[in-house]
Amino acid sequence: AQSVTQLDSHVSVSEGTPVLLRCNYSSSYSPSLFWYVQHPNKGLQLLLKYTSAATLVKGINGFEAEFKKSETSFHLTKPSAHMSDAAEYFCVVSGRKGGYQKVTFGIGTKLQVIP
Amino acid sequence: SQTIHQWPATLVQPVGSPLSLECTVEGTSNPNLYWYRQAAGRGLQLLFYSVGIGQISSEVPQNLSASRPQDRQFILSSKKLLLSDSGFYLCAWGREILYEQYFGPGTRLTVT
C-alpha cells in the first residue's frame, strides 16, 4: 500500500518568516518522494526530489526537504518566506514493486504569505 | 529541451457531449505519459498512465478513456460528459516511475 498525508490544508506565514509544510508517507516499496508547487490555474512545477541519495534535498527557490525514514516524513522548509511563495504545494510518493508502478499525490497545502 | 503542450486551455461543454483533450510532448522519446484530474479541494487524481504506444493503464473506473496513438501524443476522451467530469486536467510526462514528472499547463473543463 502507498499513501501520502499532508498534515495541513492551509498554512499562513508572514513574509520573511520560516515556512514548514508537513508530509508523511507510507509505502511498501522503495519510494521516491517529491514536492511540487502549483500557482493558480497553472501546471505543477517540481521543487525538489528524493531518490535514495542524500536525505537532505535542496530544491529551487530556497526550498529544502529532509527525508526521515524512521519518521516516514518528508517535510518541506524554507528559511524566509517571500510573497511569490504563495501557492499550493503537493507532496508526492512514487514507487515500484516488481512490475507494478504507483504514484500518489497528497491533497495539497495552500501557503498564504502575509506582507 | 523538453516541452509539453495541452489544448485547449479552457473548455465549456454541455452534459452528454463528447470530449477530446490532447497532450503532446517534444524533445524526448518513449516517455511515460499521465493524465490527472484536479477537482476543487481534492488534490490530484491519477486517471491514466501509458508506458508506450497503445499501452494504457487506468487507475480508477470512470466515464473517461485514454489513447496513445503516437509515441508523444496522449489523448483523453469521453463519449458523454457528466457534470462530475468538470475539473482541471493535467497531462504529465516522465522518464520512469521513480523519477519526477513534468506537467503541462492544464485544461480547465466546465461541464454545464
CB pair distance less than 8 Å for B103 and A41: no
What was the pLDDT predicted at B62? 78
Amino acid identity at B83:
L
Q: Calculate the average pLDDT of chain A.
A: 91
Q: How confident is the prediction along chain B (112 residues), in pLDDT tens digits per residue?
A: 889 999 999 999 999 999 999 999 999 989 999 999 998 767 788 899 898 998 998 877 678 999 999 999 999 999 999 999 999 999 999 987 667 889 999 999 999 9
Residue with cell 452528454: B16
Cβ atoms of residues B62 and B47 within 8 Å = yes
Residue A66 has pLDDT above 90, yes or no: yes
- Tell me, yes or no, if A34 comes closer than 8 A to chain B by beta carbon: yes
CB pair distance less than 8 Å for B99 and A105: no
Q: A59 has which bridge partners?
A: none
- Tell me, yes or no, if B104 comes closer than 8 A to chain A by beta carbon: yes
Sheet containing B65-70: order of strands: B3-7, B19-26, B73-78, B65-70
DSSP string, A2-68: EEEEES-SEEEEETTS-EEE-EEEEESS--EEEEEEE-TTS-EEEEEEESSS-SEEE-GGG-EEEEE
- Tell me, yes or no, if B21 comes closer than 8 A to chain A by beta carbon: no
Q: How confident is the model at residue A97 (pLDDT cuts 50, 70, 90)?
A: low
Mutation to test the A interface, candidates B97, B99, B102, B107, most A Cβ within 10 Å: B97
The stretch A25-30 carries a mean pLDDT of 82
User: Which of the pair, A31 or A24, is modelled with greater confidence?
Assistant: A24
What was the pLDDT predicted at A46? 93
Residue A101 has pLDDT above 90, yes or no: no
Distance between CA atoms of residues A52 and A29, nearest Å: 12
Cβ atoms of residues B108 and B88 within 8 Å = yes
Q: In the Cβ-directed half-sphere of A79, how many Cα atoms lie within 13 Å?
A: 2
Cβ atoms of residues A13 and A112 within 8 Å = yes
CB pair distance less than 8 Å for B102 and A95: no
Angle at B40 between CA B34 and CA B16, to 5 degrees: 75
- Tell me, yes or no, if B107 comes closer than 8 A to chain A by beta carbon: no
Backbone Cα Rg of chain B: 13
Q: Which of residues 24-63 of B touch A (CB under 8 A)?
A: 34, 36, 41-46, 49
